[in-house]
Structure 1
Amino acid sequence: MPYPSARTIAILLSMQEPLTPDSTKQEGVAVRPPSRWRSTFDAFSIPNYRWFFAALCGNFAAMNIQMFIRGWLVYEITGSYEKLGWMTAAGGLVGLVAAPLGGVIADRVKQKKFVLQISGIANALITLTIAVLISLGKLEFIHLLGSSILQGIVMNAMMPARQAFTKDIVGLDKLTNAIALSTSGMNTARLLLPGLAGGLVAALGGGNGNIEPAQWVYFLMSGLYLWAVIILTMISVEDKPSHELPTGSVLNELRLGFSYVLNTPIIYMLLGCNFLMVFFSLTYFMLLPGFAKDVLLAGPDRLGLLISISGIGSLLGSLYIASYGNKGRARVLLYGALLMGISLFFFALSTHYWLSVALLTVVGFGQSARMSLSNVLIQSYVDDEFRGRVMSIYMLEMAFLSVSIYPISLLADYYGPQLAVGISAVGLVGLILVLFMVPAYRDLD
């Protein structure tokens, strides 16, 4: 197959035709465009998307609780930033294998829903096992490391199918809105659940070496994963026709996917820039459990509250993107990432808890815009037959990132988390300023 494809070239050519005032008129009569905010929840007009969103909320709730509880458990047991880095790196290492295979699976299966259900059952079993180990008083760091590896396999194998399934449900026209609404669901969970989980752990006496209350949090997470599995049964999407399924070997399909990315400049550029942005922007979250305890002098309840309140900015950012049109999306992405980098720099300098909460709220707004639009831009320019494999490479970047962040955890151990987060923030701001000077990226719609 020649690259870039005819569809990609057509999209690029269409970008050269700017909108004119006449484009909003029909036969001399001005057509009033719909209100931006009225279109914020457009994807909810699709019944299948409503069920999909409900299932995602179960997953998002469990994931956001885990963002708090796993990091808290590791630091409570070990007191080591390096061990926090191990946790992230372990999931990333297995993702280097699982993510590409997940992309091939997403392109080869007739019904992506089944991939999501199988992964949900696997996650429920993993979290249930950790809950039982805590209740028996036998939980050790190695168990948490093992769960990170297993969930890294499940997550990376499932995510390409989930990303591609969104397009199957809503189509390209509503894809920006659907992805932003899904992100808003994740951010709502982030707003509510970590704080509640942290408050529960603290109320039951958790902290200072006592990890027993965490078992109830893990039992809850297991139930949330099963909820998502059940809700997915309500979605009815036509199977992918057999003649559209790839018939080559898995290795050949992988090779074709990587070849497509390398020979399609716009996809190659989007994936490469996204990797650098994520590398510089997510360091703080990996270090947050230790940062909160050592710099902000915060216990489990305040750590959960810190994550939750910062989710207000993320929720507002995702709702803004949900109401945004299909023009100038790369510029909005860059402005969001720049806002995040500047706020993250001042967060690194702060030792005051409530100032740090306010700064992380702004960080969340910028991060949400970046996450939603980077996903949308890639899905808008990729060809359907390669969608699953390209999204797996998108996930593969996250796996590389999880491994590459490990040296940052060592830097935090030797010189403190403030320096590590500050250096990352400076790197992010520098990258965004460079991309503002690259029209091929800056002017993408």
Structure 2
Amino acid sequence: MTAHTPDRPGTEPEGDADTRARESTSDTSVDAGGGMFRSLRERNYRYYASGQVVSLTGTWMQRAAQDWLVLDLSGGSPAALGVAVALQFVPTLVLTLGAGVVADRFDKRRLLIAVQVAMGLCGLALGLLDVSGIVLLWHVYALAFVLGCFSAIDSPVRQSFVVEMVGPAQLTNAVALNSMTFNLARIVGPAVAGMLITVVGTGWVFLGNGLSSAAVVLGLVAMDPTRLYRVSRSPKEGNQLIAGLRYVRERPDLIVIMVLAFCVSTFGMNFESVFAVMARNVFHRAASGYGLLITMLAIGTLAGAALAARRGGRPRLRLLFGSAGTFGALEAAAGFMPGYTTFAVSLIPVGLAVISFTTSANSSVQLSIDPEMRGRVMGLYMMLFLGGRPIGGLVSGWLAEVLGGRAPLVLGGLASLVAACVGAAVLWRRGRVATSSRLG
């Protein structure tokens, strides 16, 4: 197995790559030079990012279409939409930790190829059912669950593969560029989906997403494996998962960040289902109105991702907790906006704050862990970040049914604000105790 340096691809011994990775991740002044798009200098990352632009646009088209289809099939029930969200994210609780172990042991690029093919087939299956006119609500539920299974495997593998494409020195920039790609797709996808749903129906949107997965697969196949920043694969042991959990347990900083990510994601980031309810049931808008809400949020997240890409380096904990608290306050305020227009505009700063938090959290975790543990730690991180969505989806649906469509935004924002304040206080107190112990 080989590693890569820009001057001599494929010639550096694997052990040297591991040493270089540890040195880079332990340096708090990771190189931030070279411009906003410096990660794209890496050939493999260019292929990956190009495929992601197409595939993620299709993914966001499918998410918008799936939410709208569920509301249509259920007669506008927010609870039914919550069930669909829950089914899609339940597998994360079961599979993501194991996927992290697999990511540390096997070739991540080949794993991603297989998973992306499977996810594309899910979109094609739902599209064929819908276009043929035989789709039922349970079909959507079943395929949402299957898609969730593959997504649970995809997340830790994909997250831990980023550093192999660009190297530790450019990880923060690559994570930010991924966020920019993600949010460009979030702008374009729902807007296009809203128009297509009105013109040709949801089925063709699902078919388009299924075909878009081919872009990522082609990008992964075209990569040069010798130019990847490989790290040593973990040996086959019976306690790999336990070793990963023990590693995190001994790192209070990681625990606090992961718990905060869980709280913000579970209670504050149920955007798609909440926005569908707000557009349809609160403001009485069509599918295009729902797509516009997601687009407005994405404008803010795109701006936040651009700032993160330009900033570079390891993010400060002050930024992490500050952005989480700001997001919570802004989301709660957005829930009180009286009209559709004011609500839509208020989502721009909400998006900027939430992407600042997610980018900071992801980079902080990856840049502070040993490379050979990256798959397992990111598996746990993604399990907490995504695994709470079933709870959040059900809670949001129940709150919308009982207290109205605004309640999930207001209460979810307040929960995120409280979590940020508590997390910051815990780390501040631990720092004070450690300082006192050294002085004493």
Give the secondary structure class of the aligned counterpart of 2:311: coil
Conservation of the 8 A alpha-carbon contact between 2:26 and 2:368: no
Say which SS state the counterpart of residue 216 (structure 1) adopts: helix
The 1-side partners of 2:293 and 2:89 are apart by 25
Aligned equivalents of 1:441, 1:335: Cα separation in 2? 17
Q: Which residue of 2 aligns with 1:267?
A: 254
CA spacing shift, 1:77–1:323, aligned 2, 3 Å = same
**One-letter code aligned to 2:206:** Y
Using the alignment, how far apart are the partners of 1:112 and 1:312 within structure 2?
A: 31
- Quote the residue 1:25 is aligned against: none
Instruction: Map 1:305-384; keep pairs closer than 5 Å.
Output: 305-326=292-313, 328-384=315-371
**1:152-205 residue CA offsets vs partner (Å, 9 max, x unmatched):** 11011111111111001111110000000011001001111110110121234x
Aligned to 1:50: 46
Cα deviation digits, residues 22-52 of structure 1 (max 9, x gap): xxxxxxxxxxx98x7x621111111111111
Alignment of 1:68-107 (within 5 A): 68-78=64-74, 79-107=76-104
User: In structure 2, what is the Cα distance between the partners aligned to 1:242 and 1:69?
Assistant: 40
| Structure 2 contact 96–152 (Cα < 8 Å) conserved | yes
TM-score by structure 1 length?
0.85
Match of 1:248 in 2: 237
Q: Deviations over 1:348-384 (max 9, x none)?
A: 1123111111111111111111111111000011111
CA shift at 1:441, angstroms?
9.7
TM-score by length of 2: 0.86
Closer, same or farther in 2 for the Cα pair 1:161/1:437, shift >3 Å? same
C-alpha change, 1:7 and 1:388, in structure 2 (3 Å) is same
For 1:173-252, what aligned pairs fall within 5 Å after superposition?
Answer: 173-204=169-200, 213-238=201-226, 244-249=233-238, 252=239
> Secondary structure of the equivalent of 1:66?
helix
Whether the 8 Å CA contact 1:436–1:442 is kept in 2: the answer is no
Q: Please, which of 163, 167, 170 is the counterpart of residue 166 of structure 2?
A: 170
Between Structure 1 and Structure 2, how many residues are aligned? 409
CA–CA separation in structure 2 for the residues paired with 1:382 and 1:241 = 16
Does structure 2 retain, via aligned residues, the 8 Å contact 1:184–1:315?
yes
SS in 2 for 1:187: helix
In 2, Cα distance between equivalents of 1:53 and 1:40: 14
Query: How big is the shift at 1:328?
Result: 4.9
Shift of 1:304: 0.9
Contact 2:57 2:186 (C-alpha < 8 Å) held by counterparts: yes
- Contact persistence 2:400–2:406 (CA under 8 A): yes
Q: For the Cα contact (< 8 Å) 1:184–1:318, is it kept in 2? A: yes
Match for 2:280: what amino acid? Answer: K
User: What is the identity, as a one-letter code, of the residue corresponding to 2:202?
Assistant: A
DSSP-derived class of the 2:133 partner: coil
- The CA distance in 1 between the partners of 2:55 and 2:135, in whole Å, is 24
1:129 matched to 2:125? The reply is yes
Q: Secondary structure at the match of 2:285?
A: coil
- 1:259 offset after TM fit, Å? 1.6
The Cα offsets for residues 407-441 of structure 1, whole Å up to 9 and x where unpaired, read as 33212111112122211111222222334445559
Per-residue CA deviation, residues 284-316 of structure 1 (Å, 9 max, x unaligned), is: 433221121111211101111221132111111
Kept in 1: contact 2:276–2:290 (CA 8 A):
yes
2:14 paired with 1:39: no
8 A Cα contact 1:127 1:219, kept in partner: yes
* 2:236 partner amino acid: T
Q: Which runs of 4+ in 1 moved over 4 A?
A: 6-15, 239-243, 438-443
Mapped partners of 1:41, 1:229: distance in 2: 23
- Which amino acid counterpart does residue 245 of structure 1 have in structure 2? S
Query: Structure 2 vs 1, CA of residues 242 and 260 (structure 1 numbering), >3 Å: closer, same or farther?
Result: closer
Q: CA deviation at 1:401?
A: 0.6
Distance 1:306 1:290 in 2: 11
Separation in structure 2 between the aligned mates of residue 292 and residue 303 of structure 1, nearest angstrom: 5
Alpha-carbon shift at residue 91 of structure 1 (Å): 2.2
Unmatched segments (≥5 aa) in structure 1: 1-5, 20-32, 205-212
How far apart are the structure 1 equivalents of 2:412 and 2:192? 29
Matched residues in 2 for 1:172 and 1:241: separation?
Answer: 11
AA aligned opposite 1:377: S
- Name whichever of 324-333 and 125-134 sits farther off: 324-333
274, 281, 287: which one aligns with 1:294: 281
How much identity, in percent, do the aligned residues show?
24
List per-residue Cα deviations over 1:195-224 (Å, max 9, x = no partner). Answer: 0110121234xxxxxxxx111111110110
Distance between the aligned counterparts of 1:140 and 1:378, measured in 2? 41
- In the alignment, the residues of structure 2 paired with residue 12 and residue 185 of structure 1 have an alpha-carbon distance, to the nearest angstrom, of 24
1:58-94 deviation per Cα after TM superposition (whole angstroms, max 9, x unaligned): 3311221122111111111112111111112112222
Q: Is the contact made by 1:103 and 1:389 (CA closer than 8 Å) also made in structure 2?
A: yes
Q: Which residue of 2 aligns with 1:430?
A: 418
Distance in 2 between the 1:118 and 1:7 partners?
30
